[in-house]
A = this chain, B = another copy of it.
Amino acid sequence: MISESPNLTIFHQKSSPSNNHTMAPVITRPGSEENLLNISSNDLLPLGEFLFIRILQANPKLRSVFGIPGDFNLNLLEHLYSDSLVNEVEFIGICNELNAAYAADGYAKVIKGLSVLITTFGVGELSAINGIAGAFAEFAPVLHIVGTSGVKAMAKADVATPGNIHNIHHLVQNKHPLLSPNHHVYKKCIEDISVASESLDTNVTANLEKIDKVICTILQESRPGYLFVPSDIPDIRVPKSRLTVPLDLGELRDPVLLEQVSSRILNKLYHSQKPSVVGDAFMTRSRVEAPFRSFVDKLPNDFVKLFNASMARNIDETLPNFVGVYAGNMTGDKSVVASIEKDTDTLLVMGFLDNEQNSGNYSQDYSQIKDVIKIHPDYVYIDEEYIMIKNFKTGERAFSIGDLIKRLDKTVDANKFLYNDHTLSNIPAKKPIVQLSLNDPVPSEVITQNKLVDFFNQYLRPNDILVVETCSFLFATPDLVFPKGVEYYSQQFYGSIGYALPATLGASRAEKDLGTERRVILVQGDGSAQMTVQELSSYIRYDIKAPEIFLLNNEGYTVERIIKGPTRSYNDIKDDWNWTELFKVFGDVKCEKHESKKINTTSDLKELCDRPKTSKVEFFELRLAKFDVPQRFRDMFT
């Protein structure tokens, strides 16, 4: 429940001289509503420093924050260089704010905890907003800190008369030209794409509560939240003692209900003749993989069939009772559909993520299943009823999804499955991995997306981190059979193209901060890569676990071409970029930090399997035919 504080017990006072300038007035002022005079200055520290330390308490693994400087956040950024923080956290300067939001999202997902994005008033925060909406839609716990206009400027605006309003830079004017601008105008934009937002001011006690509230809500909901920090308050002093107050990351409020729900779920399974369990996305997104995997392992593997949701892929697909990836009628292997829809009496969906992409366009048919149980962070659906575990008025949960999964894991008993006669009759025989490319009517040396699926089914190794951009290849991921421990990330539901390239930077940085030794593999389209391409520069700027990038160059927006206007100019991009020269332009002329290679043939592709290990970023440009798409995507339109 309480994150341990990292090695930050010694807090050096840091003098941060205020720097009055004409563009964003910066003043240092004490908390106006507090009497801190009776606290020794040794027991105080600047608000900015406090904030970053608190963040480290909420995520002790965090070593990187992402952002772009602006005159409204400089006073805050300065505190990253205080003695207590300078060796703990590094500021990762990103080329632009949207990319930074994507990077923070990728970082949060791989580090499995809070990540931080810092932008400036208006121009910065708005540039990032689509990345935050994506983190909201796809459940990434990103804290977006925005340096705003100062409290002094806000106070001035409140009393201004027509003759003396101040329109300050980065802040859109009031529509009435004789009224003051609304310094809070941008906050409206993020109400529906964030789970918490607070504006700090000069009230010290309230500030500290707001910080905790936002951080804790972000972690509880696994979704983004905002702290708005006026430019003139990061230096105000706050009591250190607050750092000893534990963060409330989700109290167990109703153990009785927890026990009841857990028992009902298990009893359903115990009394099932043909039980199936689907691993769905919230097991990952709510960061409960460990008890979830432990629970799944305890289920009798000669009796309970296992499936993965297409956006989840968190059940070990090498388990003997793993049947397949299930996404309604978009499931590739129709016997998988039959196995779940027609040959299951009790279905437990663990971490139910309800959307078009994850459900095969809502084509899942559970009508022949007697009992369907869905575990969601906010409710449990059982016996055709929703048991709400989140109170939407207070925001509190009776218990967390983690509490429930832990409880299930702790209490499940493989011997209690009444109908398990150990004949294995429930588990369909394992099929070999389908060779999708067998029927591709092209010369053997020509790379197709089907062949690429076959390639990755050979290429992937246990514990790889695989990031797939929203591109035509994404539709093929259900045909990939993942080795044990593969972590798979995409933005399949929100589908903001351009996401994956900076997100993989964040993911790679998280992998570095975690100190594990996993491969990070990005599969990326050319149209989407053009959106955020400058961030390749950061791949070689920062010390990251060097990822492998597979760029699928197929001359434009292939997904859209299949939907409409295959040869229309709106689906074209500038398709003659020299992709393999990009890293040189971004400074690595001598290829000291990267290797780029054109992969023109299936032989080139095969050679990748045996290449030596390198610590460099690897960039592979695969030239694909303009209208070639994976079989599964083609099938959607025929």
Contacts and interface: CB of A to CB of B under 8 A. Distances in A.
A78 B568 contact: yes
Interface string A595-626: 00000000000000000000000000000000
A584 B587 contact: no
A178 B533 CA distance: 38
Interface in A151-167: 162, 164-167
A170 B122 contact: no
A532 interface: yes
A376 B167 contact: no
A130 B186 CA distance: 10
A539 to B, nearest CB: 10
Nearest to A377: B177
A51 to B, nearest CB: 16
Interface string A64-108: 000101110011011011000000001101011110000000000
A573 interface: yes
Contacts of A77: 565, 568, 570
A21 B637 contact: yes
A587 B188 CA distance: 42
Contacts of A379: 177-178
A166 B564 CA distance: 23
B585 A589 contact: no
Interface string A547-590: 00000000001011001110011111110111001101111010
Interface string A160-199: 0010111111111101111000100100110111010000
Contacts of A572: 93
Contact of A96 (B78, B133, B531, B571): B531
A7 to B, nearest CB: 21
Given A130-B127, A170-B494, A74 B192 contact: no
A549 to B, nearest CB: 16
A577 B570 contact: no
Nearest to A77: B570
Interface stretch (A314-322, A332-340, A350-358, A415-423): A350-358
A578 B571 contact: no
Contact of A564 (B19, B80, B578): B19
A326 B539 CA distance: 45
B134 A123 contact: yes
A493 B557 contact: no
A23 to B, nearest CB: 7
B188 A175 contact: no
A541 interface: yes
A436 interface: no
A578 B578 CA distance: 14
Nearest to A179: B392
Interface residues of A, number: 108
A495 to B, nearest CB: 5
B123 A497 contact: yes
B169 A495 contact: yes
A459 interface: no
Given A130-B123, A162-B386, A169-B355, A98 B95 contact: no
Contacts of A444: none
Contacts of A531: 95-96, 534
A498 interface: yes
Given A93-B573, A189-B189, A361-B22, A123 B495 contact: yes
A560 B189 contact: no
Interface string A384-412: 00100000100000000000000000000
Q: Which of A164, A178, A563, A581 gathers most chain B CB within 10 Å?
A: A563
Given A563-B23, A589-B578, A95 B530 contact: yes
Contacts of A188: 188-189, 191-192
Contacts of A126: 129-130, 133
Contacts of A167: 354-356, 493
Nearest to A530: B95
A175 B193 CA distance: 9
A414 interface: no
Nearest to A171: B137
A192 B172 contact: yes
A75 to B, nearest CB: 7
Contacts of A532: 96
A69 B386 contact: no
Contacts of A166: 356, 362
16 contacts: A74-B570, A77-B570, A96-B98, A97-B130, A123-B133, A129-B189, A137-B172, A169-B355, A173-B355, A176-B378, A178-B386, A533-B534, A574-B586, A578-B584, A581-B585, A582-B585
Given A71-B559, A127-B130, A177-B378, 8 more contacts: A93-B570, A123-B133, A170-B494, A170-B496, A178-B386, A533-B534, A578-B586, A585-B585
The 7 closest A-B pairs by CB, nearest first: A576-B587, A126-B130, A167-B355, A123-B496, A74-B564, A96-B531, A189-B189
